[in-house]
Amino acid sequence: MKSIGARLAICYVLASTVTFASLFLAGRYFMERHAIHALDLLNESEFEQLKAGVGPAGKALSQDVLRNRVHAMMSDDLELFYVEVDAPNGDVVFRSQGLRGHQIPVLPKAHVFNAFVDGLGELRAGLFPLGPYKVLIATSKNHVKVVMEGYERTFYGLLLVMIVVSSVIGYGFSRMALRPLRLIQDTADRIRSDNLSERIPVAAAKDEISDLARLLNQMFDRLEISFDQIRRFTAEASHELKTPLTLVRLQAEKLVMEGQLLPVQEQAVQIQIKELAQLNRIIEDLLFLSRADARAITLDLRLQDPEPFLQCFAQDAHVLAEHQQLRFFLTHHGCGQVAIEPKWLRQVLLNLLSNALSASPAGGRITLRSTLMDGTWQVSIEDEGPGVPEEQRGRIFERFVRINRPGEDKGTGLGLAICRSLVELHGGRIFAESAHGGCGLRMVFEIPAETSTDGAVATSQDIPLREADAT
């Protein structure tokens, strides 16, 4: 069971049940002992009355006289007591009719004891001396048995009620006890790399939970300092590298333009210029990501219908796809408006399209699907390439993470990280999943929208707007 609250509630119910059952067993034991002791007192009281009625019971008292006197006294006891009087020689002087001729078995060296008699069940008996005679007085234990059975029925009813009540109390107790932990969980879940300044509220009480909150806040302090140092280093290093790299590239271009280099030397310089351009792009991307992480980029978000924006992008996307002998299609469904800045969102789509073009085989199909529904604008770009393993899809949006796929340009590993930052600046999210049919990769981003169901028009259009596919 994964829920700590459920485990606490169950432990509380079990503890309550065990405690209640233990108290019941102890109570039953003492109650039964007191009830049996009460029977012993009744037997002793009955003997005292019998002794007082019989009178002096010395050796001169004959068995017949004793039998008559006992019989006279026992005629009105309604068989509440069973009496047996034995002579010194073992003869039975008197036996109650209720015993039905059965003898009460006597335990040696026992003054009070339990005896079982056929037809009567278990009796509680006491052995008393009356001169030279022995008097056995017993009473049925059925009354005790009835009381104990009623006690047990009451116990089972109370046990059921206690389980229900303790379950409710245990659930409420677990919710109350875990409330600070849920607050810590919710706050910790909100703290991300772009929100490291938020801290977990610490209760005034000094207990284990407040110590945990303080420990986590100290950890977040260290993380915030580390992230700030990394961001400053990235931004400052990128900024400082731009000027010398620009100078090196200008010098290399100047050597090529002067035309005094040998062919081999010129080829080497051209390679240097190409690598310098690549390095300059990486620096620009790092600067952009640093600014995005620091929320230094302000978007001019305006509500607009995304369909014209997609149609404009689709024209350029078709040209890029046709250049690489691929086919591009656009579908758009739904009606509504989305708060976007076209310049940055176009950058997202171009990055995603570039990856799809690199991964797709010749003659493959790339599909851009757009849907406005239920307050969300969902856009996906799907290719027919080899795809990305499921366990690696979550990492492809991290910086400098590159998935090596056959025939695909490795790139810098920053394009998808930039896409994630831009989509998050629009208040959305981006993720990757398997394409329809299990072949290829589907990159999806979602942005909040204001959708409409009144007069909604769904359009589905393939670009280019002609029958022939690009070849």
- Asked whether residue 83 is assigned to any structural domain, the reply reads yes
User: Who contacts 9 (Cβ-Cβ below 8 Å, separation ≥6)?
Assistant: 167, 170, 171, 173, 174
CA-angle at 241, arms to 236 and 243, nearest 5°: 115
Residue 372 sits in the same domain as residue 457 = yes
Tell me how far apart the alpha carbons of residues 353 and 316 are, in angstroms, rounded to a whole number: 11
Residues with Cβ within 8 Å of residue 370, at least 6 apart in sequence: 306, 307, 310, 330, 331, 332, 333, 334, 377, 378, 379
Lowest mean pLDDT among 43-57, 239-253, 284-298: 284-298
**Band of pLDDT at residue 405, cut at 50, 70 and 90:** low
- Overall domain count for the chain: 3
The domain boundary residue, chosen from 293, 317, 340: 293
Answer yes or no: is 162 within a domain.
Answer: no
pLDDT digits (tens, 9 = 90+) for 299-352: 788 899 999 999 999 999 999 999 889 999 999 998 899 999 998 899 899 999
DSSP 470: P
Q: What is the pLDDT of residue 95?
A: 87
Residue after which a domain boundary falls, among 259, 293, 327: 293
- Same domain membership, residue 408 and residue 329: yes
Residue 266, domain CATH: 1.10.287.130
**Average pLDDT of every residue of the chain:** 82
The Cα–Cα gap between 360 and 358 comes to 6
Is the pTM here over 0.85, yes or no?
A: no
User: Residue with structure tokens 């280019």?
Assistant: 464
Q: Is residue 218 part of a domain?
A: yes
The pLDDT tens digits of the residues spanning 376-392 come to 999 999 998 888 888 78
Token readout for 219 is 């950890």
Contact 243, 226 (CB under 8 A): no
Does 441 score more than 50 pLDDT? yes
As a whole number of angstroms, the distance between CA 111 and CA 135 comes to 11
CA atoms within 13 A of residue 252's CA, in its CB half-sphere? 19
Q: Are 326 and 364 in contact (CB under 8 A)?
A: yes
pLDDT for the residue 458: 43
**Distant-in-sequence, close-in-space partners of 248: CB < 8 Å, separation ≥ 6:** 272, 276
Give the domain extent around 398. Answer: 302-461
List the CATH number of the domain containing 142: 3.30.450
What is the structure's pLDDT at 450? 85
Numbers of helices and strands, H then E, in the chain: 8, 13
Claim to verify: residue 214 and residue 282 sit in the same structural domain: yes
Q: Are residues 285 and 336 in the same domain?
A: no
Q: Residue type at 358?
A: S
Percent of the chain with pLDDT over 90: 21
Are 203 and 209 contacting, i.e. CB atoms less than 8 angstroms apart?
yes
**CATH for 444:** 3.30.565.10
Is the pLDDT at 117 greater than 60, yes or no? yes
What pLDDT is stored for residue 38 in this prediction?
A: 92
Q: Within this chain, do residues 212 and 318 fall inside the same structural domain, yes or no?
A: no
- Pick the last residue of a domain from 293, 315, 338: 293
